[in-house]
Amino acid sequence: MNIEKLNNVELIESQNEHPSANISSLSEDEICILKNIYAGNKSEFTSLAQYTYQHILTSAIAELNNFTRNIEKISIAEMRHFEIIGKILNNSSVDPKFCRYIDNNPNICNYWSSASVSFSSEISDFLNKNIELESAGIKEYLKLKSVTKNDTLEKIVDRILEDEYLHLDFFKKCLES
């Protein structure tokens, strides 16, 4: 991996606003998928923790200043997604605690753990982990789109997917550099 090329990979960011998270009713399927997206093993919470760690780790490397800024921007975008999903859950009277349901049962919760975060300090390794994480997130959002009949939720998911595809593209380009 060429550090100079890696540092020159540009992050394309969507300029579209996120729709309001003003949803007050969700189906059981939507809730279960959203809880997994929110705080499952490969969730928005995991993404923001992992990318924040990587931002801190690479911030000490002057040759990676642009890359580090881009990782920070992605982490902030993931935090925004996390907040949006949390608000949707809360507005729908679902406790936004950091867990996912086991077997779609809201009475059995698997709490989020930092064990889900990849703490690799090897750049090519953490880029591969980021690609896995973004791909898993995209898969969950597409699953949510396939079950929802809520137009507002679908618009929110479409806007978040816009970011996730851009993040995935960025990490793939970085890995190829």
Q: Which CATH class is domain 24-176?
A: mainly alpha
Confidence at residue 134, expressed as pLDDT on a 0 to 100 scale: 97
Cα separation, 58 vs 125, in Å, equals 14
**Residue 44: predicted pLDDT:** 95
Q: Are 5 and 177 in contact (CB under 8 A)?
A: yes
Give the whole-angstrom CA distance, residue 120 versus residue 126.
6
pTM, two decimal places = 0.93
CA 71, 88, 160, 125 torsion-angle sign: positive
Exposed, middle or buried, 153 (CB in 10 Å: 0-12/13-18/19+)? buried
Can you tell me whether residue 17 is helix, strand or coil? Answer: coil
Give me the pLDDT at residue 86, please. Answer: 96
Residues 125 and 114: beta-carbon distance below 8 Å: no
List, run by run, the mean pLDDT of 10-residue segments along the chain (177 residues): 83 90 90 93 94 94 90 95 96 91 80 91 93 97 96 96 96 93
At residue 100, the pLDDT reads: 83
In DSSP terms, which residues pair with 101 in a beta bridge? 109
Q: Nearest-5° angle of CA 45, CA 124, CA 77?
A: 30
Q: What pLDDT, on the 0 to 100 scale, is given for residue 22?
A: 87
Tell me 109's DSSP state. E
pLDDT of residue 62: 83
